[in-house]
Amino acid sequence: MTTQTGLRQFLSRIDGQSYKAYKDLERQYHFPDFTLLIDRVQGDPFASPSQCRVRMPQANAKLPKFLYNSSSREVALRDFLTRQCDRVAHSLRQKRGSGSSGLIAISQPRQTILERTSAFVNDDWVEVRLVVGLPAFGRRVAGRQAAEMLCDDLPELIDQSLRYSALDADAVLRHVEVAEDADWLRSHLADRGLVAFIADGALLPRRSGVDDRPLADGIPFQAPVALRVEFTCPNRGRVTGMGIPAGITLIVGGGYHGKSTLLHAIERGVYNHIPGDGRELVITNPTAVKIRAEDGRSVANVDISPFINRLPLGHSTTQFSTENASGSTSQSATIMEALEAGTKLLLVDEDTSATNFMIRDRRMQALISKDKEPITPFIDKVRQLFIEHGVSTILVMGGSGDYFDVADTVIAMQDFQPQDVTHQAKAIAQQYTTHRTAEGGRQFGTFLPRRLPALQSSEFVKWKAHDLNAIVIDREEIDLSAVEQLVDPAQLRAIAATLVYLQEHYLNGTHTVTELLDYALSDIQAGGFDPLTYCPPGDFAHFRRFELAAALNRWRKLTKI
Q: What are φ and ψ of residue 23, in 5° steps? A: -55, -30
Helices (H), 472-529: 489-505, 513-527
Residue 546 predicted with pLDDT over 60: yes
Say if residue 153 is in the same domain as residue 215.
no
Residue 533 predicted with pLDDT over 80: yes
Q: Which of 123, 152, 167 is the last residue of a domain?
A: 167
Number of domains in the chain: 3
State the greatest distance between any 2 C-alpha atoms of the chain, in Å, as a whole number.
88
Is 212 a member of any domain? yes
DSSP, res 247? S
Say if residue 385 is in the same domain as residue 468.
no
* Side chain identity, residue 531: P
Q: Which of 123, 149, 167 is the last residue of a domain?
A: 167
pLDDT tier for residue 560 given thresholds of 50, 70 and 90: low
Task: Tell me the residue ranges of DSSP E strands in 296-406.
Answer: 299-302, 320-322, 345-349, 392-396
Q: Which of 167, 185, 212 is the last residue of a domain?
A: 167
pLDDT digits (tens, 9 = 90+) for 429-444: 999 998 899 998 889 9
Say if residue 34 is in the same domain as residue 124.
yes
Measure CA 425 to chain center.
35
Say if residue 543 is in the same domain as residue 420.
no
Rounded to 5, what percent of the chain is helix, strand, coil? 40, 20, 40
Is 107 a member of any domain? yes
CA quadruple 65, 67, 70, 76: dihedral positive or negative? negative
Q: What is the mean pLDDT of the chain?
A: 94
Residue 210 predicted with pLDDT over 60: yes
pLDDT tier for residue 98 given thresholds of 50, 70 and 90: low
Percent of the chain at pLDDT > 70 equals 98
Is 35 a member of any domain? yes
User: Residue 339 is part of which domain span?
Assistant: 193-446
Nearest partner of 128 among 165, 94, 101, 89, judged by Cα: 89
Measured CA distances, 147 to 6, 17, 44, 168 (Å): 11, 15, 18, 30
Nearest partner of 420 among 428, 412, 430, 432, judged by Cα: 412
Taking residues 125-142, report their average pLDDT.
Answer: 94
CB atoms within 10 A of CB 510: 9
The β-bridge relationship of strands 409-414 and 248-252 is parallel
CATH assignment at residue 322: 3.40.50
pLDDT tier for residue 128 given thresholds of 50, 70 and 90: very high
pLDDT digits (tens, 9 = 90+) for 250-292: 999 998 899 999 999 999 999 999 999 999 999 999 999 999 9
pLDDT tier for residue 449 given thresholds of 50, 70 and 90: confident
Is 179 a member of any domain? no
Say if residue 203 is in the same domain as residue 160.
no
Taking residues 96-105, report their average pLDDT.
Answer: 74
Say if residue 401 is in the same domain as residue 509.
no
Looking at residue 249, its pLDDT comes to: 98
Residue 553 predicted with pLDDT over 90: yes
- Torsion of the alpha carbons at 419, 425, 427 and 431, rounded to the nearest 10: 140
Say if residue 405 is in the same domain as residue 273.
yes
Residue 95 predicted with pLDDT over 70: no
CA dist., res. 60 & res. 53, Å (int): 17
Is 174 a member of any domain? no
Say if residue 301 is in the same domain as residue 408.
yes
Taking residues 71-76, report their average pLDDT.
Answer: 98
Is 172 a member of any domain? no
CA dist., res. 307 & res. 382, Å (int): 11
End-to-end CA distance of the chain: 51
The β-bridge relationship of strands 104-105 and 299-302 is unpaired
Is 188 a member of any domain? no
Is 139 a member of any domain? yes
Q: Which residues of 272-299 are buried (b: 16+ CB within 10 A; e: fewer)?
A: bbbeebbbbbbbbbbbbbbbbbbeebbb
Say if residue 101 is in the same domain as residue 230.
no
Say if residue 223 is in the same domain as residue 297.
yes
Say if residue 352 is in the same domain as residue 486.
no
Report the run of H or E that residue 179 belongs to, with start and end: helix 169-188
Say if residue 468 is in the same domain as residue 385.
no
Task: Tell me the residue ranges of DSSP E strands in 409-452.
Answer: 409-414, 417-420
